[in-house]
Structure 1
């Protein structure tokens, strides 16, 4: 019995020794303080020459891309109508994506325009060097005529996010992009297109890296500067994520549109709601921002850090709804 008790005592000492030397798991890094003052650097007061789609004197227009269940006329209209019904207000801007060969002026485009929305066309133009070689001139002329036929102001994003590293094989360089951009503009001018506001829209990350400005075509070529910004892989306040862009844009006499913004599902309902509340205050603190467009979509195949749909997440959606009902985002 004494031998058993001795063995038990030894075992207790061994376990106690192991416990005393065990290292505690490191504490997770603290969440960023989303209640801190917004970054207010885009303070160019204007006035701005924004092209046919003019900037509001005060406040900012509100828009969205809403991924439809089906990429059909009925699906597109149902997606926009559904979001507008839940928000209790119409969208000022409807973002729509087009491949190079897809023309503007579809049945759903016409319906959005008839309801008073402005189209923001995100046009995925092709290889810049093939554009410069004239290989796509006929297609570009066709798109120019299609947009002219719309007869209302259109925001046109020529190959948005052109600074993404995964697009370098078709963008080639900033110089190639700028030359192709100007080539497209020249063809539109030849087709007497006068209803386009030209939007230049790189990524917020491109300004953090420092390579996005090399793609800027120039103040004489751009009507609206733009940025796409997400709390995806990083959960930081939107003002921090796009701070380098805002500092750059403040030096230019152009209104700003946030072409895409979103907060990922991975950050949880409370975190997403806080992020959106902070986004609203940041937009309002930067009077040069004249339009904001949410990316209401969960792209297929993406993990939770790249899923941004707010529908189905009541706390986050409520925060977005409050943003949309703020008089600042209803400039009239």
Structure 2
């Protein structure tokens, strides 16, 4: 269903009535991340971002912060917050069993959210959890521990009246992890997962992660330890869930500068082959932990291609209360 005049709008669980939400985690791994980084990103790319993505951890800082609330409420630029929270005060198993300090924080968080931010927002609990799985008895970090921890967090917040969180289960989209026997045990349950997200990146130089959009996002592996691709996996195991590319980007290369331009240019057509993808969130950093650069303006040609991509009709969705 679309609004009058055919406009695409956000609805229940922030699922757009049509098209794909467009967003960014700006200034990642830099001191300028936040409102200033978002403003700079929107200036250079020539459009308002429908989603603003930020990260939190531990049990001290409540969120959304004042700055994040201001970003969501900026006059004339309605945005959806997408907030990651990584619990670090106890093991997954301990949190699932009701760790006292974590529960106390969740209770404070519930009060804070109800008081300061009634709008729907995306909320991820410990994104890319598979990277921290320790699949041995008693580790506190098994795949089933993760699922139980995730359930506990979402259910505790909801039980305390936080009904505006739209939960996102965010995977790494790393095939080596997905092929493990424990991978599907990470799923917390349809009742506590609203969206399924994947973090996936394209690499400008040949090798893993190099290719077109389908190769990067839905890479398949044939053989005894085959893998159908993340899109195909989600479509098969969780057909009722909208999908989000929760982090994406193209890592730059001085040797192959044309690759990023071509990837941006072709993505607008290629994404139409994946209709369950309803949101894409750019992760922009001049340097990650490995020194890799995903800046959309690494070259003038890349910036123009990204600007053109963001202007396509498929990425236009009005954020509505």
Bin for the TM-score computed over the shorter chain:
0.7 to 0.9
Separation of aligned partners in 1, 2:305 and 2:45: 11
* 1:78-115: CA deviation from partner (whole Å, max 9, x where unpaired): 11111112222111000001112232121211211112
Structure 1 runs (4+) greater than 4 angstroms displaced: 68-72
* 1:174-197: CA deviation from partner (whole Å, max 9, x where unpaired): 100111111112211221001011
Corresponding position: 1:248 with 2:228: no
Corresponding position: 1:230 with 2:201: yes
Say if 1:295 and 1:180 are closer, same or farther in 2 by CA, change over 3 A.
same
Say if 1:71 and 1:146 are closer, same or farther in 2 by CA, change over 3 A.
farther
Task: Show the counterpart of 2:223.
Answer: none
Corresponding position: 1:120 with 2:108: no
Rg comparison, structure with higher value: 1
CA shift at 1:330, angstroms?
0.5
Segments of 5+ residues of structure 1 without an aligned counterpart are: 1-49
Task: Show the counterpart of 1:66.
Answer: 26
Q: Secondary structure at the match of 1:172?
A: coil
Corresponding position: 1:325 with 2:311: yes
Map 1:213-228 → 2, pairs under 5 A: 213-228=184-199
Q: Secondary structure at the match of 2:127?
A: coil
Corresponding position: 1:294 with 2:282: yes
CA shift at 1:234, angstroms?
3.1
Q: Secondary structure at the match of 1:160?
A: coil
Corresponding position: 1:93 with 2:60: no
Corresponding position: 1:173 with 2:132: no
Separation of aligned partners in 1, 2:289 and 2:170: 24
Aligned residues: CA RMSD: 2.4
Map 1:1-332 → 2, pairs under 5 A: 52-67=12-27, 71=31, 76-101=34-59, 102-115=61-74, 116-126=78-88, 127-135=91-99, 136-148=102-114, 149-164=116-131, 166=132, 168=134, 172-206=141-175, 209-211=178-180, 212-232=183-203, 234-243=209-218, 244-251=229-236, 252-266=239-253, 268-303=256-291, 306-332=292-318
Q: Secondary structure at the match of 1:204?
A: coil
CA shift at 1:301, angstroms?
4.3
Say if 1:69 and 1:205 are closer, same or farther in 2 by CA, change over 3 A.
closer
* 1:248-299: CA deviation from partner (whole Å, max 9, x where unpaired): 1213201111100011112632011112223332322211111100011134
Q: Secondary structure at the match of 2:265?
A: helix
Segments of 5+ residues of structure 2 without an aligned counterpart are: 1-9, 219-228
* 1:23-79: CA deviation from partner (whole Å, max 9, x where unpaired): xxxxxxxxxxxxxxxxxxxxxxxxxxx98432112210100000168647xx52111
Q: What TM-score results when the alignment is normalised by the length of structure 2?
A: 0.79
Identify which range, 167-176 or 187-196, moves more after superposition. 167-176
Separation of aligned partners in 1, 2:272 and 2:113: 32
Q: Secondary structure at the match of 1:308?
A: coil
Separation of aligned partners in 1, 2:84 and 2:275: 24
Q: Could you tell me whether the CA contact under 8 Å between 1:226 and 1:259 is conserved in 2?
A: yes
Q: Could you tell me whether the CA contact under 8 Å between 1:229 and 1:238 is conserved in 2?
A: no
Matched residue count: 278
CA shift at 1:311, angstroms?
2.7
CA shift at 1:143, angstroms?
2.1
